[in-house]
Amino acid sequence: MVFLIDYGLAKKWKTSNGEHIPFRDGKSLTGTARYASANTHLGIEQSRRDDLEGVGYVLLYLLKGELPWQGLKGAKNKDEKYQQIKECKVNTSIELLCQGYPEEMATYMNYCRTLSFEETPNYAFLRRTFKKLYEKCCFDHDYLFDWTIQRFRVDQPIQNEEEGKMQYDGTSTVPDSLKNHLGDKSSEGGELIGASQALKEQAELANNAEARKLAQAEQEMGQQQAADSKGKKDSKSSSKKDKGSKGSGGCHLF
């Protein structure tokens, strides 16, 4: 699960008349250099493909703990630093970047890199890819996340007389109101293991809702692709008519 926050630099990818924003280059870097797409570093206008590539870098950072273009030395100012990051990012292959991690990560990143500027991403395909990875890893969809565990964890402080600091004994206490809804406590770290029946029921409901969303997304994707295909055919037909007309000099933007 990924939470998206802070839309201070977000912009619309469609104009007021429903058309995709125009392609531009020569732009300065906007956003966090560490997670910016390769095309963003090259000065190209950002679109939906760049959002997806940025999410991929965040996921890889969470998996690996760092990215190859972190901690580069020798830059004297911000411009030189951005230049180093760009060169490292552009020259680091996806295979090397994702080496040692599930192949689905490389599939995701390669897909993002091959999207064209205006292309509508196949979100259903990407969700399906990671859902299959989740199942392949035999994860139990128990609806318990790191923050769920932390929320119900109260470590007990004990005084360390030698260092004069407070330490924690690794045990947890659970509010009485939650004891009927949570599993047992583990002996190490106090993490709650196992999900209650109530949480499992929530997980089943969430799975059903996700399945409905996936089916709807795939249907919408099919409709969008059909509309795009029809638009291209109409454009070609119009172009042929313009060429066949005397004295007409049409200019077609693409």
- Asked whether residue 216 is assigned to any structural domain, the reply reads no
* Counted domains in the chain: 1
3-class SS string, 181-250:
CEEEECCCCCCEEEECHHHHHHHHHHHHHHHHHHHHHHHHHHHHHHHHHHHHHHHHHHHHHHHHCCCCCC
Looking at per-residue confidence, does 92 or 193 come out higher?
A: 92
Query: 124 in a domain, yes or no?
Result: yes
67 assigned to some structural domain: yes
* More reliable by pLDDT, 157 or 56: 56
CA distance 131 to 52: 17
Is residue 2 situated within a structural domain? yes
Residue 105 lies in a domain: yes
45 within some domain? yes
Q: Is residue 30 part of a domain?
A: yes
Residue 182 lies in a domain: no
pLDDT at residue 222 in the model: 73
- The answer to whether the beta carbons of residues 196 and 180 sit under 8 Å apart is yes
**103: domain range?**
1-139
Residue 241: what pLDDT?
Answer: 53
Q: What is the CATH number of the domain that holds 55?
A: 1.10.510.10
pLDDT band (50, 70, 90) for residue 247: very low
CA distances from 38 to 87, 93, 133, 162 (A): 9, 11, 26, 52
- Beta-bridge partner residues of 166: 159
